[in-house]
A and B are shown apart, each in its own frame.
Chain A
C-alpha cells in the first residue's frame, strides 16, 4: 500500500467542447516527494490538478490519488488530502482561529489548531475577522485550512501568485516544513525559481503536454546542455564560451591570461539553469506552431 505512488497519472486527457486542455499527460509522484508542475498560464496545470482533487471529470486516462480514483469522489479520500486552490473565498465574518477550529472539526484526525496557526504564520492575527485580512494573510489562511486535517497529500495550485518577495519566501518556508513533515506535495507554478527552490522533481507542461520531467538539477544539466564560461577581457568587453569540458577550457584561458600578465575579471562557470531549459523547450514548441 505505502509502496504505491501517492499520485499516478496515465495518458490523462480533458476536453472542454472542442478544446483539449490536457492532451495525454503522464506522471507519478512518490510518497513524501515535492513535485512541481511548471508551465505558463493556460498550460493545463490547474485542469490537471482539479481532476486529481476531484473537482473535474476527466475525458479519458487513468488517475489514482492515494490509491483511489478521485473521479468517484470517495469520501475517505477528502480526509487524507489538503487543497489550496488557485483562488477561493472564505466565510468573511468569522475570525482566523474560528475558521481553523471549524475546519479541524470536519476531519477525523485533525492537527492541533494553535500549532497549525503557528505553522502557517498566523500568530498575532488569529482573532481578526477573515474579511479584514490582506491578500497574503488570506493565503496563509488557505494554507492553514488545507493543513489542519493533517493530510498525507497537499495540492498547492499557484500558491504564491501575486505575492511580494517577502511573502513568497515565507510561503516557501511553510512548504519546506510540510516536506520535512513527510507530506507529499503537488505544486503548480509558473515561477521557475519556485519550482527550483521547492520541488524534488519538476514536470514542464505546455499546451496540455509534458515536455520534460526530472529533478531541477538534472533538467538543467541534461545531455544537450553545456557549461558556460564567462569573463571580461582587458578592454572590459564581456566574453562567453560554451563547452562540454570546462576543465580544459579554463586551463587554456587562465594560462593565456597569466602569460600576458592579465586577469580574467568576473570569471564564472555556470550550467544552464532550469530557466534556460524551460525557455528553450517552450521556445521550440512555439517554433513548431
Chain B
C-alpha cells in the first residue's frame, strides 16, 4: 500500500471505532430508519403495493441519513471544534482524510441498506433483491451523490448549534416528497416536479427496480443521469468550499 493509502486506512479504522463509541450517532444512523420502516410497515400492513414502495424508500432514506445528514453534521462539528484544523497540521494528506471520512459513511450506508433488505425479506414479503448489480450501482451512486452533497452542505452551516436545523430543513422535506413513505404519483404535480429535480427520488427509483420490480438499470438511465449531475455538483462544491476552521476569527 502506498503511504497515503496506509494513512487513509489508519484514519478509516479510527473513524469506525469512533462511530461505535458515539451512541447518539449510532442511534440516528441505524435505529431511526428502522423505526420508520416498522412504523409505516405496521400502517401499511397487508397492502403489498404500499410495502413495495416503503422498503426501497427506507433504503434510500438510510443512504441519505448515513451520508448526507451525518457528514453535514460531523464535518460542521469537527470544523467548529477545531479538530479539522488540528488534523491539517499533521502529515495526513487531505485526500487520505476525506477518503477515510467518506469510506466511513459509505460503510454505514451499506450496513444500513443490508439491514433494510433483510427486514424487507423477513417482515414485509419483499423477497431477496431481483437485480444485485442494479442494487450495487444505485447504492454506490446514491452514496457518492449524497455524501458529496453532505460535505458541500456543511460549508453552508455557520455553526454547530445551527447544524441540526440546517440538516432537518433539507432532510425532512426531501424524504416526504421523494417516495420514501408513499408513491410520488399520489402527490400534486408541482411537488412531483420538485422531487424529480432532486436526487433522492431517483436513487429510490433504482433501488425499487433492484429490490421489487426487477426492471434493470438500463430502464433507469435517466435516473442515473440526474444522480450523476448532482454528484458532479456535490463533488465540485465539497472540494471548492472546504473550510478547515470556523469563521470565528
- Interface residues in chain A, defined as those with a beta carbon under 8 Å from any beta carbon in chain B: 53-55, 75, 78-79, 81, 83, 85, 87-91, 93-94, 98, 102-103, 105-108, 129, 145, 149
Q: Provide the residues of chain A in CB contact with B82, threshold 8 Å.
A: 85, 87-89
Measured CB to CB, the closest approach of chain B to A163, in angstroms, equals: 18
Q: Provide the residues of chain B in CB contact with A54, threshold 8 Å.
A: 89
Q: Are B86 and A78 in contact (CB under 8 A)?
A: no
Which among B17, B18, B21, B86 is the interface contact of A85 at CB below 8 angstroms?
B86
Which among A81, A90, A149 is the interface contact of B83 at CB below 8 angstroms?
A90
Q: Are B90 and A94 in contact (CB under 8 A)?
A: no
Q: Are B89 and A78 in contact (CB under 8 A)?
A: yes
Q: Are A106 and B92 in contact (CB under 8 A)?
A: yes
* CB closest chain-B residue, reference A90: B83
Q: Are B83 and A91 in contact (CB under 8 A)?
A: yes
Measured CB to CB, the closest approach of chain B to A261, in angstroms, equals: 66
Sorting the interface of chain B by its residue count into under 10, 10 to 19, 20 to 34 or 35 or more gives 20 to 34
Q: Are A107 and B91 in contact (CB under 8 A)?
A: yes
Q: Are A55 and B91 in contact (CB under 8 A)?
A: no
* CB closest chain-B residue, reference A93: B21
Question: Do A102 and B14 form a contact, CB below 8 Å, given A55-B85, A91-B83?
Answer: yes
| Interface check B7, CB cutoff 8 A | yes
Q: Are A107 and B83 in contact (CB under 8 A)?
A: no
Measured CB to CB, the closest approach of chain B to A99, in angstroms, equals: 9
| A90-B86 Cα distance, complex, nearest whole Å | 8
Q: Are B90 and A75 in contact (CB under 8 A)?
A: no
* CB closest chain-A residue, reference B10: A105
Known contacts A85-B85, A89-B78, A89-B83; 16 additional CB pairs below 8 A are A55-B85, A75-B93, A78-B89, A78-B91, A81-B89, A88-B82, A88-B83, A88-B85, A89-B82, A90-B81, A90-B86, A93-B18, A106-B7, A106-B90, A106-B91, A149-B91
Nearest 3 CB-CB pairings of A with B: A89-B81, A88-B82, A93-B21
Of the listed residues A75, A85, A90, A106, the one surrounded by the most CB atoms of chain B closer than 10 A to its CB is: A106
| A103-B244 Cα distance, complex, nearest whole Å | 18
| A53-B89 Cα distance, complex, nearest whole Å | 8
Measured CB to CB, the closest approach of chain A to B98, in angstroms, equals: 15
Q: Provide the residues of chain A in CB contact with B14, threshold 8 Å.
A: 91, 94, 98, 102
* CB closest chain-A residue, reference B86: A88
